[in-house]
Amino acid sequence: MSFAAAGAEKTNAQKLNSLSDRYTQIKKDLLALEKTRDMFFEHLKNSEKALRNLFTLKFDAKNVTLDNLTKELVIKLPRKAAEYSTGEIDFMVALVRINEFIGSDSAVLILDDPITSFDIANQYLVLFDLIKVATNSQLRKSVIIFTHNIACINIAESQRTGAFKYSCLDRDNIGLRFIPITINKRNAVRHCFLCQETIQAEAENSNQEETKIRNAYISAAIQRDTKGCEKLHSIFHYDGTVIKETYGSFTLSNTFLISLIDNPNLLFQKNDFISLRIDKEIALIALRIWVEKELVDGTANQSILKDKNLFQKVTTIFPTSNISSWNGNPKITREYLMSKKVMLNQASHEKAQEIPFEFALNLSIYSLKNEIADIKAHFISE
């Protein structure tokens, strides 16, 4: 592209040169995009039959063609495009992308949360196709999925056990931890590969005594309200008294749980998935009991808190209509404690979220440590 600017000002000439450079870059970008489009189109042609069958059967498409002139995949659907939901359009795009990968010479497909925005039926369909690709020895292709969605792993395992290898990427204060998820298939619930029952079965069979003990606390927390296990309830509260109870071959106590928060370095020391999972759950349980102890210690009339759970302790110490009976750090207020409601697993009834499995799983080590540090800092006397 050339410019002639006879008698023009120097600044105008500089602007023209700048526009010329920009035009040249845009032209390069367009050529690169056209090259990518052409390559994508050629890959689709290699999967043309599969795409035609796919859209005819799943979407009742009337016509599926590849336009060699415009290099476009043209699909005539029974409804106007505007009448399809965003999730349906994304589902179609995902299936086209998978088939384009099959028709390409690429060896690896990397996907970021590929099923989260879909309904359950379509989540199964997408993973079904990905499993076919990953396990087809003739294709020699690999699929890497990054996801926050536990269902993604459980759906994959329910369709074909062992089709994928799983790892957890967790953030700690010093960086990232890459932790393989190794679960003995005999301990796994087939249709819930990654769930509370499986994690506990793995922990129970662990060769680490520390993990077994902490797992016993989690089992006791789940069973504390069942018939015959009422005595376990007091272990998970603090009213000013040290409580000890026998559970299987272990002696459990509320002060042990409190000690984990007093000495947080005792948590998250192991680097295997099961131990870290157990530690995340027990940290949430222990933090609630630690806060109960701090509330009891900071209240002049401790008897008013007797036999109350954390939520009841908070509302008793910080009533909305009367003067607070709190003598501790003024940083601690009703509003602050209620803002930590989910983290502290507060509830006005006993059976609410005994073990918040998915919540604990999706918290990073870094965020858990920071939450513990923040809550402790608010309770420390000035």
CB atoms inside a 10 Å sphere around CB 65? 13
With CA atoms as reference, report the closest residue to 236 among 354, 326, 376: 354
Residue whose tokens read 């819930």: 192
Summarize pLDDT for 189-222 with one digit per residue, the tens: 666 888 888 999 999 999 999 999 999 999 998 8
pLDDT of residue 15: 76
Assess whether pLDDT exceeds 80 at residue 352.
no
**Nearest-angstrom CA–CA distance, 345 and 356:** 8
pLDDT of residue 81: 87
Summarize pLDDT for 244-271 with one digit per residue, the tens: 999 999 999 999 999 999 999 999 999 9
Region of poorest pLDDT, from 225-234, 250-259, 283-292, 317-326: 225-234
Question: Quick one: CA torsion of 319, 321, 327, 330, rounded to 10 degrees?
Answer: 90
Tell me the average pLDDT across 233-244.
91
**Nearest-angstrom CA–CA distance, 244 and 380:** 27
Classify 250 as helix, strand or coil: strand
Tell me the average pLDDT across 157-170.
92
CB-count exposure of residue 164 (10 Å: 0-12, 13-18, 19+)? buried
pLDDT of residue 102: 95
Summarize pLDDT for 74-93 with one digit per residue, the tens: 999 999 989 999 989 999 99
Q: Where are the domains of the chain?
A: 19-177, 195-379
| DSSP bridge pairs for 80 | none
Helices (H), 8-149: 10-46, 48-59, 86-103, 120-135
Cα radius of gyration (the chain):
29
Which tokens in the block code for residue 109?
């497909």
Region of poorest pLDDT, from 9-23, 135-149, 237-251: 9-23
The architecture (CATH level 2) of 19-177 comes to: 3-Layer(aba) Sandwich (3.40)
String of DSSP letters for 175-211: EEEEEE----TTTSBTTBSSSHHHHHHHHHT-S-HHH
